[in-house]
Amino acid sequence: METYAARTASDAPGAPAPGLLVGWALTALGLALMGPGLTHLCGRLLQSARPGALRLLAGRVLMEEAARIGRPLGVVCAVASAAYATAAVYDADGPGGSAFGPLSTLGALLVAGCAVATLLTAAVEAKHARADTTAALLRLGAPAGTLRGAAAVRAGALGALFGPLTLAVAELAALPLAGS
């Protein structure tokens, strides 16, 4: 849809076509809706193929927290891909003439900051929600290093899935504007 909309003439010179903006909005909505499913899949993949205690714990926690942190993670993915695509398009315009002014920069920083703050808030809520489980594991003799290791494995797995996804969506979002 974005590629087709980019071929149509825009009303204002230099502004993207309305269909292109609708395509970007649908992409962002799709990433936000896919976030919990992808987070759950990440947890499922961590537990596959004879996992040890660390991967099993990390996968179970990801599956349990998928609904809570998945949607904000999808939104951060959408915002990061939009920022990357915008930077790629404006960087392609040339070194001297950037149409990205101070108010646009402020708006972009505000949107990105709010998305990251929402993700951090969801992560803190998830940590507080599993505080009883963490305390029970520590009482049973689980090393604190194992719990920290499981958190690092969760973060690494989410980064390994959502990082390339963000770059792929950004490249596809910038593709219709590269020719204009």
**For the chain, how big is the Rg over CA atoms in Å?**
20
42-97 pLDDT per residue, tens: 999 999 988 899 999 999 999 999 999 999 999 999 999 988 888 877 775 555 54
Give me the sign of the Cα torsion angle 123, 127, 130, 133: positive
115-159 pLDDT per residue, tens: 999 999 999 999 999 999 999 999 999 999 999 999 999 999 999
pTM, two decimal places: 0.82
- 56-to-76, 79, 138, 146, 147 alpha-carbon distances in Å: 26, 31, 17, 11, 11
